[in-house]
Amino acid sequence: MKNFTIHNLADVPEHMSVVSSWLNGEWGAIRNEPIDKTLDLLKRSALKDRWPFVLIALENGTPIGTASLILDDMPTRPDLTPWLADVYVEKSARKGGIGSKLVKAVELEAARLGLETIYLFTASKTALYELLGWQLLERTEYRGEQVRIMTKKL
């Protein structure tokens, strides 16, 4: 496993453009968002001591991953909130446990903020989230693909 630290993005705002680029590159086409809208949303979501928040993993000061807790990641399910979202690890840093550590860090911060339950959806990482203690809530179609909504009690 790589030697890295996890920070609130609000504490290291100089990395916002990198995180915005990752998110836009990974999900921008699906969300139909230009990069400037992604950056603006990220700036509004990078809060301290409340949610929404964005975490970032740094290795020797270099961004290698991110994860967020947001209000709404699936507009078709406004009854579910908040959502673990935007879990991303740089390709060169994958398979080192960084994504799992970011997820756990989001869970810990959410619990610290008094939240009891959080949600996520995934098309392909169900097994990973199950290993991290998440439970399947339902299977559904979203944005033209089959996804699983998962939940975790904190």
In a domain, residue 127? The reply is no
Sorted by sequence, the CB contacts under 8 Å of residue 115 that are 6+ apart come out as 51, 82, 154
Residue found under tokens 């790589």: 2
The stretches in the chain having pLDDT less than 70 are 1-2, 28-35, 38
In a domain, residue 38? The reply is yes
In a domain, residue 121? The reply is no
Asked if residues 151 and 119 have their Cβ atoms less than 8 Å apart, the reply is: yes
Look at residues 45, 36, 34, 33 and name the one whose alpha carbon lies nearest to residue 17: 36
Domain count, the chain: 1
- Mean pLDDT for the chain? 91
In a domain, residue 131? The reply is no
In a domain, residue 126? The reply is no
pLDDT at 6: 97
Identify the CATH number of the domain in which residue 39 sits: 3.40.630.30
Rounded CA-CA distance 114/93 in Å is 31
In a domain, residue 31? The reply is yes
- Residue 38: give the domain boundaries: 5-115
In a domain, residue 154? The reply is no
Q: How many CB atoms lie within 10 A of CB 149?
A: 20
pLDDT at 3: 87
In a domain, residue 17? The reply is yes
